[in-house]
Chain A
Amino acid sequence: MQEFIQLTVAGLAIGSIYALVALGFVLIYTTVDVVNFAQGDFAMIGAYFMVTCVLSWGLPWWLAFVISVVLAAIAGVVFQLLIYQPVKNRPRSFVPILIATVGASIFIEQAYLIMYGAVPYQVPGMFSVQTVSLGGITLYSQYLAIIVITAALVVLLSWFLEKTKTGLQMQATAQDPDTAKLMGIHTAWIAALVFAISAGTGGLAGILVAPVFNVSISMGSSIALKAFAAAVVGGFSSVRGSIIGGLIIGLVETYGATYISGSYRDAFAFIVLIVFLVFRPYGLFGEKTSDKV
């Protein structure tokens, strides 16, 4: 039983990381109708900001954490200005934007390879103690931190989206951008905000997972693939779906790696993805739609 609880906590923690990145996928997709294939790179960017703040500048963890999340969010706005804005009005803009985000992802990873090298960095976790004991069960403290911070962020983000005027404007822009403009909503500013939030949550995921996986150039893309699967499981249009999708992928991956085979750890996420694509392609919370041919 103890092992099962430990695995569940680990699965929820890893799932939270996927959920945070999936959240970014979903926010950008629902608001500006773009699948951002560089989403995982925001996790890497956040983690490398943490490396610089903690290891190079020697800042305290909390200060480094805040600075890194903010810088990741700013990187999202820069990304929106340099990658999304120039191609968004092209004819059949879905394809140019998609290719632009893939190209940007490759560029970002290579730029970081030049700046930081190929050797992974190890950054400290939130707590100096590695483990805590709760009710006789020993748990990894960073996992608990990941779960608590993700839960807090989801509550905060839900409040922002549902209770503030700016959050409602984001939803309105996602649902009908032309009518949003007629209401006086500055949709370009909303797009920038969405990229900032998505990059911020992605950066947060990278920072939180850095003590577990170490910081490397490839960390973003491996997280992004699982997060993409999580977003599909959740329906790709629902914040709630992306969180639950992330947690499902995290739990299935952790249980599968332990109880079936660790060699197939990465395969479990994609088995879940394939099962959903075959039997429920619109995900858990997506809407069933069809186009007339």
Chain B
Amino acid sequence: MLKVDNISASYGKVRAITDVSLEVREGEVVALLGVNGAGKSTTLKTISGLLRTQDGSIHFQDERIDRLSPEKIARRRIVHVPEGRRLFPGLTVRENLIMGTSNHKVSKVDLNHRLDYVLEIFPDLKPLYSQLSWSLSGGQQQMVAIGRGLMADPVILMLDEPSLGLAPVIVKQVFKTIRDINARGVTVLLVEQNAHLSLQVAHRAYLIETGRIVREDDADTLLHDENLQKEMLGAGF
């Protein structure tokens, strides 16, 4: 479904990722794990078009997408939920959710179905509907951010550090939600520092270090790899 081949990208003169390759198949949850600054978010930014690749290629459903604008990539239902939630602070929860449908035309009936679907997954958002998003807690903002991603009717949902800055109990809820979303047929590419919880919901995972993929394996294998546990101790194992 999504195939990233040997991509490299830089911020100015600083190389952020080098020869990164990964693949996400339909129906999977794939985790991209690594410590802070390893190149996880940069990889997602290149897939969603926010950052141009310098080498390599990205194909989605057999179409090359690495020269498309972020808007065009979003219209192919590749949905990026960015790090730090990045809600529109001056818009209400409902308005933020509606903005999720900007990647395609949607009828009023369909819009309401979509809003109901998000509320089914995040019932706690219902009483917050008309609240401005800046006033929400971190956990509530994360629910809105994922909900906004789901409003886009994603073929693949790319979540960038959804557990970042959240209380442990909320983190567990977020990962449970990721499993629920995947069970509803949404393919997920999950970027995380919290390797332990990520591997519990993922089918496969890639490890990234200083901008390079250093390992790819089944989530179960990685979860029970004692060496990895030692290596990633500081990153949520």
Chain B residue numbers with a CB within 8 Å of A180 are: 88, 99, 102
- In the complex, A35 Cα to B82 Cα: how many Å? 29
Interface residues of A in 189-242 (CB under 8 A from B): none
| A172/B50 in contact, CB under 8 A | no
| A168/B71 in contact, CB under 8 A | no
Instruction: Using A168-B95, A169-B99, A169-B102 as known contacts, say yes or no to A181 and B88 having CB atoms under 8 A apart.
Output: no
- In the complex, A158 Cα to B104 Cα: how many Å? 24
Interface residues of A in 25-39 (CB under 8 A from B): none
A187 within 8 A of B: yes
Chain A contributes a number of interface residues (CB within 8 A of B) equal to: 17
- In the complex, A182 Cα to B152 Cα: how many Å? 10
| A168/B98 in contact, CB under 8 A | yes
- In the complex, A165 Cα to B88 Cα: how many Å? 14
Chain A residue numbers with a CB within 8 Å of B40 are: none
| A184/B152 in contact, CB under 8 A | yes
- In the complex, A280 Cα to B79 Cα: how many Å? 42
- In the complex, A12 Cα to B70 Cα: how many Å? 45
- In the complex, A182 Cα to B98 Cα: how many Å? 14
| A182/B48 in contact, CB under 8 A | yes
Binary contact track B61-97/A, C-beta < 8 Å → 1, others 0: 0000000011100110001101000101111000100
Instruction: Using A172-B91, A175-B89, A176-B88 as known contacts, say yes or no to A182 and B75 having CB atoms under 8 A apart.
Output: no
- Find A181's partner among B69, B79, B104 (CB 8 Å cutoff): B69
Smallest Cβ distance from B60 to chain A, in angstroms? 15
- In the complex, A201 Cα to B148 Cα: how many Å? 33
| B82/A182 in contact, CB under 8 A | yes
B147 within 8 A of A: no
Chain A residue numbers with a CB within 8 Å of B211 are: none
| A181/B71 in contact, CB under 8 A | yes
Instruction: Using A179-B86, A181-B70, A184-B71 as known contacts, say yes or no to A168 and B50 having CB atoms under 8 A apart.
Output: no
Q: Which residues of A contact B (CB under 8 A)?
A: 165, 168-169, 171-172, 175-176, 178-187
9 smallest CB-CB distances across A and B, nearest first, come from A184-B103, A184-B74, A181-B70, A179-B86, A183-B102, A184-B102, A175-B88, A185-B102, A172-B88
Beyond A171-B90, A176-B88, 11 additional contacts (C-beta under 8 Å) are A165-B101, A169-B99, A169-B102, A175-B90, A175-B91, A182-B50, A182-B82, A183-B74, A183-B148, A184-B74, A185-B102
Can you identify 12 A-B contacts, CB atoms within 8 angstroms?
A: A172-B102, A178-B50, A179-B82, A181-B69, A181-B74, A182-B70, A183-B103, A183-B152, A184-B75, A184-B103, A184-B104, A185-B102
